Amino acid sequence: MYPFIDKAAGGGIDGMIRWVNTALVRATDKTIIVPGHGPVGNKAHLLEFRDMLVGIRDNVSRLKNQGKSLDEVIAAKPTAAYDDKWGKFVINPPFFTRLVYAGLENGETSLRTSNR
Express each pLDDT in 43-84 by its tens digit.
999 999 999 999 999 999 999 999 999 999 999 999 999 999
- 105: how many CB neighbours lie within 10 A of its CB? 10
| For residue 107, pLDDT beyond 70 | no
Q: Please tell me the predicted confidence (pLDDT) of residue 76.
A: 98
Q: Which DSSP string corresponds to 44-83?
A: HHHHHHHHHHHHHHHHHHHHHHTT--HHHHHHT-TTTTTH
Residue ranges per structural domain of the chain: 7-104
Give the Cα separation of 23 and 36 in Å (integer).
Answer: 15
pLDDT in tens, 45-54: 999 999 999 9
Arithmetic mean of pLDDT, 95-113: 73
Q: Is 36 helix (H, G, I), strand (E, B) or coil?
A: coil
pTM passes above 0.85: yes
